Amino acid sequence: MSSIVNSSQYLFTSESVTEGHPDKMCDQISDAILDAILRDDPDARVACETATTTGLVLVLGEITTSTYVDFQAVVRETVRDVGYTRADYGFDYLTCGTLVSVKEQSPDIARGVDHALEVRADAADPDELGAGDQGMMFGFACRETPELMPLPIALAHRMARRLAEVRKSGQLPYLRPDGKTQVTVEYRDGRPERVRTVVVAAQHDPDVREERLRRELIDAVIMPTIPAELRATDPVMHVNATGRFVVGGPMGDAGLTGRKIIVDTYGGMARHGGGCFSGKDPTKVDRSASYAARHVAKNVVAAGIADRFEIELAYAIGVAQPLSVSVETFGTGRIPDDDILRLVREHFDLRPASIIAALGLRAPIYRQTAAYGHFGRVDLDLPWERTDKAELLADAAGLPRPAAEPTLLPG
């Protein structure tokens, strides 16, 4: 990535999907089940996976909880909210079958999570949680947008959300729930210069004419999403490039939780450890440590310590302390990387129990994140998106906080 960023001119592309995409619907079902459990049992252990195909939703995984959840009711409510409300869409919440195959969390895993390796011998701190799995997690932030996200994924998400808005409002009544967006941005000297190409694939009723669909999607979805300063020349626009997208959702393609991890994060602009978020309670560091890493990265950039920043955390199952913490500033750091790493270690406690407490992760807040990204969500008050330590970091680094940059994304 650093070699691309250091090039004087390059293109970068990111995609998003609507809430009706079959993979994203599975993410939302898994997180809706997680939320339903956490409302009554904040200490539950949940690893909930969902799969879907024509006429069927399968819920499976490992769940240990003291509460009762009507899985079928949660599934149908989520499918209805996504928009699959009619049989002629090829999938609908009233008639889809639902199968549930859930068992308790393995006691071997629970043993390491309940009491971290550091305290297991003498039980000095019985509340110290071990990491729920091994792995590496990345956090990223940059000064391309007010929400400190890469511009390509920010625009792709806005376009996907706009697709859903015009469908739900009735402005474009022929649209159906499934859809995808993709945005290619041209960079010069490390800064976004213009939007080069846009791709939109929108599921639609069979009787809408291709010419009308293209014209109205450009006017109502694409052009309002791209700031004027980024389209000095009109981008190339591919709208339903096959000419027809009637069969979609689970009827068009099977869906599975965790298959849109790049959509969920930074659109490919940062590295990814491979673990998904949805359906996992916060003892799973795939989720909680990724949120903590974003919190660190956003505060470092907001503090003016770097304009582009990535952090990697690594964990071992049953061990509380990260095995490694590393940082990358892509040549934009205003103090040495070793000093940044020292500040991160001093001001952020990256043990699972501390992350959960600091970010309030035992609350039922997850379904709202399961479509249109977990990061950069200006529409949601997510604790890992707060820049509550930026001033502290700037002071500790001996730097003034940077002035706000021009807004590339309206609203």
What pLDDT is recorded for position 401? Answer: 74
Annotated catalytic, 41?
Answer: no
- 143 catalytic? Reply is no
The single residue of 77, 81, 118, 254 carrying the catalytic annotation is 254
Under a CB-based contact definition with an 8 Å cutoff, are residues 297 and 308 in contact? Answer: no
Catalytic annotation present for 260: yes
109 has pLDDT over 80: no
- Exactly one of 45, 161, 176, 260 is catalytic; name it: 260
Given a cut of 70, whether residue 4 has pLDDT beyond it is no
Q: What is the pLDDT of residue 16?
A: 98
Q: Does the annotation count 168 as an active-site position? A: no
Roughly how many angstroms between the first and final C-alpha of the chain, as a whole number? 29
Q: Residue 227 — left, alpha, or beta (φ > 0 → left; ψ -120 to 50 → alpha)? A: beta
Between 8 and 97, the more confident residue is 97
Task: Establish whether 389 is a catalytic residue.
Answer: no
Say which residue, 42 or 109, is predicted with more confidence: 42
Question: What is the CB neighbour count within 10 angstroms for residue 263?
Answer: 27
Mean pLDDT to the nearest integer, 263-292: 97
Whether the pLDDT of residue 411 is over 50: the answer is no
CB 312, CB 329: distance < 8 Å:
no
- Collect all residues with Cβ–Cβ distance below 8 Å to 117 and sequence separation of at least 6: 130, 316, 318, 319, 320
Angle ∠(33,37,40) on CA atoms, nearest 5? 150
Residue among 12, 15, 19, 21 flagged as catalytic? 21
Told to judge if 24 belongs to the known catalytic residues of this protein, a careful annotator would answer yes
Among the listed residues 280, 351, 367, 389, the single catalytic one is 280
Chain-centroid distance, C-alpha 51:
19
Known active-site residue 103: no
Helix (H) or strand (E) holding 14: strand 9-17
Question: What pLDDT, on the 0 to 100 scale, is given for residue 277?
Answer: 97
CA atoms within 13 A of residue 137's CA, in its CB half-sphere: 29
Least confident of 77-86, 166-175, 224-233, 288-297: 224-233
pLDDT for position 106: 65
The residue ranking higher by pLDDT, 75 or 121, is: 75
Q: Is 186 a catalytic residue?
A: no
pLDDT at residue 375 tops 90: yes
Q: What b/e readout covers 285-294, taking b as 16+ CB neighbours within 10 angstroms?
A: bbbbbbbbbb
Question: Is 253 among the catalytic positions?
Answer: yes
DSSP 3-state of 59:
strand
* Type of residue found at 316: A
Beta strand extents in 71-220 (DSSP E only): 97-103, 135-142, 175-188, 191-204
- Kindly state the helix (H) or strand (E) to which residue 397 belongs, with its residue range: helix 390-397
Identify the active-site residue in 15, 19, 23, 133: 23
pLDDT of amino acid 408: 59
Query: Residue 142 pLDDT > 50, yes or no?
Result: yes
Per the annotation, the verdict on 87 as an active-site residue is no
Find residue 101's DSSP bridge partners.
60
| Catalytic member of 157, 158, 162, 259 | 259
- What's the average model confidence in pLDDT over 240-265? 95
List 162, 180, 196, 294, catalytic entry? 180
Please give the Cα distance from 384 to 406 (Å, whole number): 23
Query: pLDDT band at 3, cuts 50/70/90?
Result: very low
Please report the pLDDT score of residue 234 as a whole number.
Answer: 83
| Residue 303 parent element (H or E) | none
Q: What is the mean pLDDT of the chain?
A: 92
Instruction: Tell me the mean pLDDT in the region 97-104.
Output: 94
Question: 194: which 2 tokens?
Answer: 């213009």
pLDDT digits (tens, 9 = 90+) for 355-367: 999 999 999 999 9
Single out the catalytic residue among 45, 143, 161, 284. 284
Span 353-379, mean pLDDT?
97
Task: List CB contacts of 293: < 8 A, sequence separation 6 or more.
Answer: 137, 138, 139, 311, 312, 313
Q: What is the pLDDT of residue 129?
A: 83
Residue 286 falls in the annotated catalytic set? yes
The mean pLDDT of 170-174, rounded to a whole number, is 96
Instruction: Find the mean pLDDT for residues 328-341.
Output: 97
The model carries a pTM of: 0.93
Choosing from 15, 27, 35, 49, the catalytic residue is 49
